[in-house]
Structure 1
Amino acid sequence: MNKGQISNTLRQYRLLYPLDKLRYLVERNKNKKLNEKFKKDNPEISLPPDYLMYESFQIDYSKYYFGGKTTAEWIFKLLGKHINLSGGKILDWGCGPGRLIRHMPDISNDQSSFYGTDYNKESIQWCKNNIQKVTFNHNNLEAILPYEDNTFDAIYGISIFTHLSKEMHFNWFNELKRVLKTGGVILITTQGENFRPKLTGEERKKFDQGELIVKGNVKEGHRTYSAFHPDPFLKLVFEDVDILDKIVISPKNKGYLPQDRWILKKKALV
């Protein structure tokens, strides 16, 4: 039995939620000393509650904060290759408890305006209470954002498509296009070929035929709800935007599988 088969069996018997909760407790205990040291060394840094951090990333304070800053830097640099961000409005779609967006104002030298949105009310409330220079809004799982048409110059969604159903891929991408300005740029990360080993043999056949693979039987949007993205499927989702770049990074070790990075540009209406 490979990992894909084990995952499917756990989903079938509704065991994934309790096991994920157990994993959270194990990870919290494993990282307890390191996290306590981080808090002692960095008392000025506000941190979200442990489960909010775990649900959106890892329960590792240093990786959340310093790793988040490193990721935010490459996101800003990558977007900046394709559009001038100075004076622009930038949206973190699926911001969670602010791992990335909290660093963006400093990275931009306060030259851009930043917004964060997420379907987790607790994460958004924590962000509102603890992160400055960013406007936060709550959204539901349904593809509706509280912004006017053509609001943003750039949008990024890091590991958000990875937790959505087939229908929601199309619905949400249409909504992102609505709030993006003409000529604006979107960065989306997806689980491509690097994640193929996580699939069963039958799932791999469908993946190779261009079919989106969704491992569900849990709440859509939750960290345990997982979607795997072959290129032909994504090109259908992205059919009316320009694909500026697709970046694939080879795994350096078994413990980390890099997601594909898609850079997309909204076309002018003909």
Structure 2
Amino acid sequence: MNNKTKFSNLLRRFKLIFVADKLNYYVNQFKNNSKNKKFIQENPDVLLPPDYLIYESFHLDYYHYYNGGEKTAVWLSNKFSNFSNIENIKILDWGCGPARVVRHFPNILPSAEIYATDYNPQSIEWNRANIKNVNFNLNFLAADLPYENNFFDVIYGISIFTHLSEQKHYEWAKELTRILKPGGILFLTFQGEAFKQRLSESEIKVFDKGKIVVRDKVKEGHRTFSAFHPDAFVVRLFKDLDVVEHNKSFLNNTALEQDSWIFRKLE
């Protein structure tokens, strides 16, 4: 566990992590100000959500929000096509935030019915007002989505389980399975083995037993609420689905990439 993580844990213990994160937001806003102004000048037609919504869901960098979101959407569509016919499908972005990824799918998959849901009412309000050809819904932390059983061909959630309690993991796994069609694909990311370097010795002991590690003391669902997932836990969590692909976490430059898992619902 590095010094940055130790300091973060100390802030969390004294319930100051949210305050520190808000200060970090202002630092990032100042740090990226010139770069973001340049992006606006070069891309005057790109609609951008309020800064804090971008920061809360990703990085406060307009280029990475928009262009990075597009690259992720293209990568996901190619990934889905390896396991499913992606023509005329129904697809859900579970935990869409301010539409970083899902805003690009109408152009990438023009024949698809595209849906997105998030628990942040400000994100959903902005998305509905600014993003076309996507059906947005507000959800809550309770695992209850307004969709019929066996509704979606593809569901994806990027860094969503990473901000939920253990109980909510099981509740949401059940709900996502409910709305996924038989034969449908579920793509999710988790903070896996590579993230052990951020854990304390006591947390590593829990992790190595195949148990989830949760850092709370903040509002559940917020970016500062963090969960870490050993492989055995993820397999138990989705024991009723088939694992069709698992890509391990890795260090990308100085940033850790999350594990990606693809599951298929049994026919």
TM class by shorter chain equals: over 0.9
1:189-240 C-alpha deviation (Å, 9 max, x unpaired): 0000111111001111111111100010000000000000001111110111
Equivalent position amino acid for 1:264 in 2: F
Residue 135 (structure 1) aligned with residue 105 (structure 2): no
Q: Aligned residue for 2:103?
A: 102
- Partner Cα distance (1:174, 1:248) in 2: 24
1:2–1:200: 8 Å Cα contact kept in structure 2? no
Kindly provide the amino acid, as one letter, of the partner of residue 229 in structure 2: H
For structure 2, the residue ranges without an aligned partner over 5 or more in a row are none
Give matches, 1:28-107, under 5 Å: 28-107=29-108
Q: Aligned pair 1:223/2:218, yes or no?
A: no
Structure 1 residue 249, shift from structure 2 partner: 4.7
Amino acid paired to 1:106: N
Q: Which residue of the partner structure matches residue 122 of structure 1?
A: 122
Matched residues, number: 266
The DSSP-based 3-state class of the residue aligned with 1:261 is: strand
The answer for the alignment partner of 2:169 in structure 1 is 169
Tell me how far 1:253 sits from its aligned partner.
2.1
Q: Distance in 2 between matches of 1:23 and 1:3?
A: 13
Q: CA deviation at 1:113?
A: 1.0
CA distance in 1, matches of 2:198, 2:18: 18
Q: Tell me the equivalent position of 1:191.
A: 191
What TM-score, normalized by structure 1, do the two folds share? 0.96
Which residue is 1:264 aligned to?
A: 263
Identity of aligned residues (%): 50
Dislocated runs of 4+, deviation >6 Å: none
Q: Which piece of structure 1 moves more, 77-86 or 219-228? A: 77-86
Unaligned runs of 5+ in 1: none
Q: Is the 8 A contact 1:3 1:199 kept in 2?
A: no
Any conservation in 1 of the 2:191–2:249 contact (CA below 8 Å)? Answer: no
In 1, Cα distance between the equivalents of 2:5 and 2:29? Answer: 25
The offset of 1:107, in angstroms, is: 1.0
How many angstroms apart in 2 are the aligned matches of 1:250 and 1:141? 29
How far 1:147 moved relative to its partner? Answer: 0.7
Matched ranges for 1:174-253 at <5 A: 174-253=174-253
Which residue of 2 is the match for residue 8 of structure 1? 9
CA distance in 2, matches of 1:253, 1:204: 24
